[in-house]
Amino acid sequence: MEDKTFTISVYSENNVGLLNRISGIFLKRHINILSLNVSESEIENVSRFIIVVNTTEKWVQNIVGQIEKQIEVIKAFYHTDEETIFLENALFKIASSLLFDEKQIQNIIKESQSTIVTVSRDFFVISKSGRRSEIEELYEKFKPYGIMQFVRSGRISVSKQKMEISSLLETFK
């Protein structure tokens, strides 16, 4: 089996220590987490972890099985990139003088479909949502001008298929 990128979705109660135990599952298997995002889910009082890994399907099945053994975990799913719709977000902080002195900066912003979030005397901040490759491309375009700060979020995703998590939770009521 060959390594592929998988997105693991974990629905859980929001308890202290769960993230540590989940990351330990990956650590024991020497599998690097490429991206991690935790947020509220579509279900009240239920959190959703989005974990991105590059491994074989056999390993991801084992990992999902181990994650589901955690008491707070309600259900875990895994999907390939083809089975999900996903984005990342990034913020770029750049010196304000460049916005007015370098005409190319305005073109880069417009062509990349980025948004200026704020402008101050010393800096401006640009927001970009998209695939990792789009954000990396924008980074490379801004790099020669000097990036004061850069941050990229973990992947956020939804599956193309219906996940039966809401129906599953109904059985617990």
For 53, the token pair is: 């890994």
pLDDT in tens, 103-118: 899 999 999 999 999 9
Q: Of 29, 59, 82, which residue sits at a domain end?
A: 82
Alpha-carbon span 101 to 55, nearest angstrom: 46
Give residue 91's pLDDT.
98
Q: Which residue ranges in the chain fall short of pLDDT 70?
A: 166-173
For 47, the token pair is: 């959190």
Bridge-based pairing of strands 33-40 and 47-55 is: antiparallel
Give residue 171's pLDDT.
58
Rg (CA), the chain: 19
* Judgement on whether residues 125 and 97 belong to the same structural domain of the protein: yes
* Judgement on whether residues 105 and 77 belong to the same structural domain of the protein: no
Predicted structure pTM score:
0.82
The domain of 107 spans 86-152
Residues ≥6 apart with Cβ < 8 Å to 35 = 50, 51, 52, 88, 154, 155
Give residue 164's pLDDT.
72
Domain CATH code at residue 60: 3.30.70.260
Residue 161 forms part of a structural domain = no
* Judgement on whether residues 62 and 110 belong to the same structural domain of the protein: no
